[in-house]
Amino acid sequence: MKRRLKMGLTGLNSSQLVDKAELIMVNMNGNASFPTPEPDLADVLAASNVLKEWNEKSAFGDRRAISRRDQAADQLRELLKELSAYVSFTAKGDKDVILSSGFEVQKLPEPSGNLSQPIDLIAKRSDKAGEINLDWKVVPYAKAYQVEYTSDDPANPAAVWTPGVVTSQSRALVTDLNMGTQYRFRVKAINGQKQSAYSDVALIMAA
Protein backbone atom coordinates (compact mmCIF):
# COMPACT_ATOMS: atom_id res chain seq x y z
CA MET A 1 0.00 0.00 0.00
CA LYS A 2 1.37 3.40 -0.98
CA ARG A 3 2.05 5.79 1.87
CA ARG A 4 1.98 9.58 1.97
CA LEU A 5 4.77 11.78 3.29
CA LYS A 6 4.26 13.80 6.45
CA MET A 7 6.45 16.90 6.66
CA GLY A 8 6.37 17.01 10.45
CA LEU A 9 7.02 20.77 10.59
CA THR A 10 3.81 21.86 12.31
CA GLY A 11 4.36 23.23 15.79
CA LEU A 12 8.16 23.27 15.60
CA ASN A 13 9.89 26.30 17.10
CA SER A 14 12.94 27.78 15.39
CA SER A 15 15.43 25.58 17.26
CA GLN A 16 13.44 22.43 16.54
CA LEU A 17 13.21 23.47 12.90
CA VAL A 18 17.01 23.55 12.70
CA ASP A 19 17.16 20.10 14.30
CA LYS A 20 14.65 18.77 11.79
CA ALA A 21 16.56 20.25 8.86
CA GLU A 22 19.84 18.77 10.10
CA LEU A 23 18.23 15.33 10.50
CA ILE A 24 16.89 15.45 6.95
CA MET A 25 20.22 16.61 5.52
CA VAL A 26 22.11 13.81 7.30
CA ASN A 27 19.65 11.23 5.96
CA MET A 28 19.55 12.54 2.40
CA ASN A 29 23.24 13.29 1.94
CA GLY A 30 24.58 10.46 -0.23
CA ASN A 31 21.22 8.66 -0.18
CA ALA A 32 21.02 6.73 -3.45
CA SER A 33 17.23 7.01 -3.45
CA PHE A 34 17.52 10.79 -3.83
CA PRO A 35 20.32 11.51 -6.33
CA THR A 36 19.32 15.08 -7.23
CA PRO A 37 17.61 16.80 -4.29
CA GLU A 38 15.52 19.87 -5.10
CA PRO A 39 16.34 22.31 -3.62
CA ASP A 40 20.02 21.47 -3.31
CA LEU A 41 21.02 20.33 0.17
CA ALA A 42 23.68 23.05 0.21
CA ASP A 43 20.90 25.65 0.06
CA VAL A 44 19.07 23.96 2.92
CA LEU A 45 22.30 23.87 4.94
CA ALA A 46 22.92 27.57 4.33
CA ALA A 47 19.38 28.49 5.41
CA SER A 48 19.69 26.27 8.47
CA ASN A 49 22.96 27.95 9.48
CA VAL A 50 21.40 31.40 9.09
CA LEU A 51 18.49 30.42 11.33
CA LYS A 52 20.85 28.89 13.88
CA GLU A 53 22.77 32.18 13.99
CA TRP A 54 19.64 34.27 14.53
CA ASN A 55 18.40 31.82 17.15
CA GLU A 56 21.50 32.66 19.18
CA LYS A 57 21.25 36.41 18.56
CA SER A 58 17.56 36.55 19.52
CA ALA A 59 18.06 34.67 22.78
CA PHE A 60 18.24 37.93 24.75
CA GLY A 61 14.95 39.29 23.41
CA ASP A 62 16.23 41.84 20.89
CA ARG A 63 13.24 42.67 18.68
CA ARG A 64 15.26 43.12 15.51
CA ALA A 65 16.99 39.79 16.06
CA ILE A 66 13.65 38.09 16.73
CA SER A 67 12.24 39.51 13.49
CA ARG A 68 15.26 38.27 11.52
CA ARG A 69 14.98 34.89 13.24
CA ASP A 70 11.34 34.56 12.20
CA GLN A 71 12.20 35.50 8.61
CA ALA A 72 14.99 32.92 8.55
CA ALA A 73 12.62 30.30 9.97
CA ASP A 74 10.07 31.04 7.24
CA GLN A 75 12.76 30.67 4.57
CA LEU A 76 14.01 27.35 5.94
CA ARG A 77 10.47 26.06 6.34
CA GLU A 78 9.73 26.89 2.70
CA LEU A 79 12.87 25.07 1.52
CA LEU A 80 11.89 22.00 3.55
CA LYS A 81 8.41 22.07 2.03
CA GLU A 82 9.95 22.11 -1.45
CA LEU A 83 12.30 19.29 -0.46
CA SER A 84 9.39 17.25 0.89
CA ALA A 85 7.65 17.57 -2.48
CA TYR A 86 10.77 16.20 -4.18
CA VAL A 87 10.99 13.30 -1.72
CA SER A 88 7.30 12.50 -2.11
CA PHE A 89 7.54 12.48 -5.91
CA THR A 90 10.73 10.42 -5.96
CA ALA A 91 9.65 7.86 -3.35
CA LYS A 92 6.38 7.12 -5.17
CA GLY A 93 4.63 6.06 -1.99
CA ASP A 94 7.35 3.67 -0.76
CA LYS A 95 7.28 3.91 3.04
CA ASP A 96 10.88 2.82 3.58
CA VAL A 97 12.21 5.25 0.99
CA ILE A 98 10.28 8.14 2.52
CA LEU A 99 11.54 7.32 6.01
CA SER A 100 15.12 7.06 4.74
CA SER A 101 14.96 10.78 3.91
CA GLY A 102 14.34 11.85 7.49
CA PHE A 103 10.75 12.87 6.76
CA GLU A 104 7.84 10.97 8.30
CA VAL A 105 4.88 9.08 6.84
CA GLN A 106 1.24 9.77 7.53
CA LYS A 107 -0.61 7.26 9.68
CA LEU A 108 -3.05 4.97 7.91
CA PRO A 109 -6.66 5.84 8.69
CA GLU A 110 -8.43 3.46 11.01
CA PRO A 111 -11.58 1.79 9.66
CA SER A 112 -14.67 3.71 10.73
CA GLY A 113 -16.97 0.71 10.43
CA ASN A 114 -16.80 -3.06 10.17
CA LEU A 115 -14.10 -4.84 8.19
CA SER A 116 -15.23 -6.32 4.90
CA GLN A 117 -15.64 -10.06 4.58
CA PRO A 118 -12.69 -11.67 2.73
CA ILE A 119 -13.77 -12.76 -0.74
CA ASP A 120 -12.50 -15.02 -3.54
CA LEU A 121 -10.94 -17.58 -1.19
CA ILE A 122 -9.16 -20.18 -3.32
CA ALA A 123 -7.60 -23.42 -2.07
CA LYS A 124 -4.93 -25.27 -4.07
CA ARG A 125 -2.80 -28.31 -3.30
CA SER A 126 0.86 -27.70 -2.66
CA ASP A 127 3.64 -29.77 -4.22
CA LYS A 128 4.18 -31.31 -0.79
CA ALA A 129 1.89 -33.90 0.77
CA GLY A 130 -0.58 -32.64 3.34
CA GLU A 131 -0.19 -28.96 2.42
CA ILE A 132 -2.76 -26.55 0.99
CA ASN A 133 -2.14 -23.06 -0.39
CA LEU A 134 -4.84 -20.45 0.23
CA ASP A 135 -5.32 -17.10 -1.50
CA TRP A 136 -7.95 -14.37 -1.12
CA LYS A 137 -8.41 -10.71 -1.91
CA VAL A 138 -6.94 -8.05 0.38
CA VAL A 139 -9.40 -6.53 2.87
CA PRO A 140 -8.93 -2.76 3.32
CA TYR A 141 -7.60 -1.84 6.79
CA ALA A 142 -7.01 -5.47 7.77
CA LYS A 143 -3.83 -5.93 9.80
CA ALA A 144 -4.02 -9.73 9.94
CA TYR A 145 -6.06 -12.71 8.80
CA GLN A 146 -7.10 -15.81 10.75
CA VAL A 147 -7.42 -19.05 8.79
CA GLU A 148 -9.55 -21.91 10.13
CA TYR A 149 -10.29 -25.36 8.71
CA THR A 150 -12.44 -28.40 9.39
CA SER A 151 -13.04 -31.87 8.02
CA ASP A 152 -16.61 -31.78 9.35
CA ASP A 153 -19.72 -30.69 7.48
CA PRO A 154 -19.95 -26.93 8.22
CA ALA A 155 -23.75 -27.18 8.02
CA ASN A 156 -23.58 -29.23 11.22
CA PRO A 157 -23.74 -26.87 14.25
CA ALA A 158 -21.37 -29.25 16.05
CA ALA A 159 -18.66 -28.89 13.39
CA VAL A 160 -15.27 -28.17 14.94
CA TRP A 161 -13.16 -25.49 13.25
CA THR A 162 -9.43 -25.71 13.93
CA PRO A 163 -7.52 -22.41 14.17
CA GLY A 164 -4.79 -22.43 11.56
CA VAL A 165 -2.44 -19.76 10.29
CA VAL A 166 -2.51 -16.12 11.36
CA THR A 167 -0.91 -14.01 8.65
CA SER A 168 -0.55 -10.38 7.61
CA GLN A 169 -0.63 -11.42 3.94
CA SER A 170 -3.64 -12.29 1.79
CA ARG A 171 -2.36 -15.83 1.42
CA ALA A 172 -1.40 -18.73 3.66
CA LEU A 173 0.06 -22.23 3.66
CA VAL A 174 -1.68 -24.81 5.85
CA THR A 175 0.42 -27.88 6.68
CA ASP A 176 0.17 -31.23 8.47
CA LEU A 177 -3.16 -32.19 6.89
CA ASN A 178 -4.27 -35.80 6.49
CA MET A 179 -3.94 -37.08 2.95
CA GLY A 180 -7.21 -38.20 1.37
CA THR A 181 -9.30 -36.08 3.73
CA GLN A 182 -11.60 -33.34 2.46
CA TYR A 183 -11.10 -30.04 4.23
CA ARG A 184 -13.11 -26.87 4.27
CA PHE A 185 -11.30 -23.57 4.84
CA ARG A 186 -12.49 -20.12 5.85
CA VAL A 187 -10.74 -16.86 6.74
CA LYS A 188 -11.60 -13.66 8.60
CA ALA A 189 -9.92 -10.23 8.66
CA ILE A 190 -8.66 -8.67 11.90
CA ASN A 191 -7.76 -5.13 12.97
CA GLY A 192 -7.25 -4.79 16.72
CA GLN A 193 -10.53 -5.72 18.38
CA LYS A 194 -12.42 -5.61 15.08
CA GLN A 195 -13.05 -8.79 13.13
CA SER A 196 -14.86 -9.36 9.86
CA ALA A 197 -17.40 -12.01 9.02
CA TYR A 198 -15.92 -15.26 7.75
CA SER A 199 -15.31 -15.75 4.05
CA ASP A 200 -17.22 -18.26 2.01
CA VAL A 201 -15.89 -21.79 2.50
CA ALA A 202 -13.32 -23.30 0.12
CA LEU A 203 -13.40 -27.11 -0.23
CA ILE A 204 -10.46 -29.30 -1.27
CA MET A 205 -9.05 -32.77 -0.60
CA ALA A 206 -5.55 -32.94 0.86
CA ALA A 207 -3.16 -35.11 -1.15
pLDDT on residue 1:
75
pTM (two decimals): 0.57
Determine the Cα–Cα distance for residues 175 and 194; give it in Å rounded to an integer.
27
Estimate the crossing angle of helix 14-28 against helix 63-91, to 10 degrees.
30
Hey, is 40 helix, strand or coil? coil
114 pLDDT exceeds 70? yes
| Mean pLDDT in residue range 87-113 | 90
What is the tens place of the pLDDT at every residue in 35-93? Answer: 999 999 999 999 999 999 999 999 999 999 999 999 999 999 999 999 999 999 999 99
Residue 186 pLDDT exceeds 90: yes
Top mean-pLDDT range of 1-5, 83-87, 114-118, 193-197: 83-87
Cβ-based neighbour number of residue 134 at 10 Å:
25
- Lowest average pLDDT, out of 54-68, 99-113, 161-175, goes to 99-113
- pLDDT tens digits for 7-41? 999 999 999 999 999 999 999 999 999 999 999 99
Q: Given pLDDT bands bounded at 50, 70 and 90, which one contains residue 112?
A: low
CA distances (Å), 39 to each of 35, 83, 85, 99, 101, in order?
12, 6, 10, 18, 14
